[in-house]
Structure 1
Amino acid sequence: MSKKIFTEREIKLLSGNPYVKSVSSKGITYTDEFKRLFIAENEKGKTPRQIFEENGFDIEIIGMDRVESSGKRWRAAYRENGVTGLRDTRKGNSGRPNDKELSLEEKYARLEAANNLLKAENELFKKDQLCRKEAEEVKLSAEQKFLLIHSVIEKYQLKSMVSYLCETAGVSRSGYYNYFTSQSKEHREKRDAEDEIVKEIILKAFNFKRRKKGARQIKMTLEGQFDTIYNLKRIRRIMKKYDIVCPIRRANPYKRMIKATQEHRVLPNLLNREFKQGVPGKILLTDITYLYYGNGQKAYLSTIKDGSTNEILSYHVLKRITLDLATDTLIKLKKNKKVKLAKDAFIHSDQGGHYTSPTFQKQVKKLGLGQSMSRRGNCWDNAPQESFFGHFKDEAFIKPCSTFDELKREIKSYMNYYNNYRYQWDLKKMTPVQYRDHLLNAA
């Protein structure tokens, strides 16, 4: 257990997360829903750190010790007792106390019911993600949970398990019964019919002049072109319900996430475009770019480049633009035995959220590096790194890659080619590795 004590400010920040049931100066109690989500995502291959960060937790506040110990405890509980092992059964945390001791048959029946519910929930997650162009955080609405519980009850003949399954899914039993009453059914059918009409009107605005639009543009187009006024919330609800998505300038959830709970710090420009200083391992340049491959798939590449030799010292590629993309590139730099950092070495980047992050800046200090940043909106302050990405996208065979593994193999192949076999005019017609050796021998 971590010995870290939370401050009042940290307690307030943690309490604002919907997946936190309660928090004190010494510990956090997570909701059962988050534990189930953790297990489902962990089984898909995500790390505990990824899962916590993607659900709004700041690792700097919680600490990796707590994250790892919580994940280990939940996995052990799940292996032993399935979904029921993830429930908080402490007095005062689990709702109405259970005075009756359950028989072995009843315990087994509950365990099987909860497992069936989790299977159905995972299937729904998969179907929902297949409908999306990019993987996003998936949260079930109360309506989806009601339908999910109903399908499990019908499929496995579990009419006596309504209360238990509602509790497991985190919804009220009264809400479940109210949702399936005849009156509610008539109301839903009427609302769905109205929504269908509104959807058609919204689609006219959405496709007006064959230019796709976001909710606010749709609202203004409806008023200006169709003399129709809809509330912005209503437009967004209909768009979400019928999966009407504007592909232009969509908000980046990871950018919001990594800036949510900590003060990010912008640092001065120490480099001042003095890229070539004739000393290998002194000026390190870093940045992130996106890569489109296969059938509309997207990945992100982070690199660290030696400003003096143009050699790529480390790189990392992920399907998501999380903080790990930048921090893992630093870890790989540290593990690269061929890299020898010069005295007063520092790393230069733009002012992106990854590089202003306290986590990234702390890791930079651990490596004994200084840190420098380009002026806001000035790409020329990191021009050699931008130039590398341009050559990389022109020369590497990225688009033909059909899978993520194939993409990683192509990137690895190109990095080897670039460092060892791609001769550069400005490096006295040498490769980056040859020029690095040349500078070291001349010193």
Structure 2
Amino acid sequence: MVKFSYEFKLNVVLEYLQGYGSTYLCKKYNIVNPSTVLLWINMYKAYGLKGLIVRNYGKVYSGEYKIKVLNWMHTQQKSYPETALHFNISASSTIFTWQRRMETKGIRSLYNKRGRPKMQKTELKVTSCQKNLANEYMIKYVYTKIQMKHPKSSKFEVVHKLINQLKSLSKSYILQVIQYSRSVYYYNLKKAKLSYDNSYIENKIKNIIIKHAAYGYRRITAVLRQSGLKINHKRVQNIMKRNNWQCKLFSRRKRKYNSYKGQVGRIANNILNGDFTANKFGQKITTDVSEFRYGNEDINHRVYLSPVMDLYSDKILSFNISRHPNVSFTLKALNEAMLNLKSLPYRTIVHSDQGFQYQHHSWVNTLKKYNAIQSMSRKGTCLDNAQMESFFHIMKSEMMNVHYNTKESLIHAMKVWIKDYNNNRIKEKLGYQSPNKYLGLIS
């Protein structure tokens, strides 16, 4: 570092006061930095001729003095040069070095002695008073720094950022130093956390609805719980109600197909008698036929679905889609399902309504071929086959809320939906699992 004599400084200052600029003087006297000239001027104005006396650049400052200087700079909100001028310190960079050392290495770094260490090292002891003074300065400094960086933030947000930044200090101590009520802080913290949680949950619910538009609050609650989130169904319901996300697909009435044409064959007894529970896979199965429309939705723009459902897992074992709801159409789905169940050590009960397809001798003979037991609903009593009726209602509500222009597009949508039903669509009856997951077919 270049040292300038007292006489040299005085000549520069006098010329400056006569009207010469700092840039001109730097060129004339070969001074590198114009701020050096300004520092001499300020020192002269503040301390007179004493301010121009050549100081000892190797002066060693105590830790207490360093903390005092830094604390004054913070409380008075002065710059490094202004602070150096006030305390008659040779270079403002010295104060800057103290500041950075304090931030990165802590209070002990301000008490380190300069020069070569002695042979016998003595442990540096810092009193509690000195430590508290340093901590208070650090808290106030960082607090002011955050305020300047985030001028639009609320006081709580600034305090919260301060606490997160100074994790080595206790919250209570920080709040005490900046004079912020502890109860107010925790009240706002709880409020902010609840707001954050609601925003997080709303995003999760929104993503579930995008993927499963037909899910109500119960099944959405189940999906959230399966993801590890502990949440009450009433809270989910309130969030969905507030955002108008409630499922309204099931409120519309759907067309019902009726295959009953009187007694045209054998009428079997109602063995199930409304009991749709099963203890084993394939113990009870049910079937029915329903109509789906596309295009102009007239007689020439209809297809029919005949699914076979297992009442143990609610899985669709097989299905057939055709333009004509004849006997062979229903037998194809039945044969496919029974082939998968023929190895079971017990007889299967096959339940249906009294549609003409199920009274036909071909249907009855097929059941005898597989040693199955036939069961039929009572005439005009849809509740006797409520499980199948419920399936059709769900399917039409979830996939027929759009119009299909062609038969191919409708059949493709039906197949995709049934596959998704078996693999992904969760049900409360199955412990909020899909049929295939309930059977252990998928993980």
TM-score normalized with structure 1 length: 0.38
Kindly name which structure, 1 or 2, has the bigger radius of gyration based on alpha carbons.
2
TM-score normalized with structure 2 length: 0.38
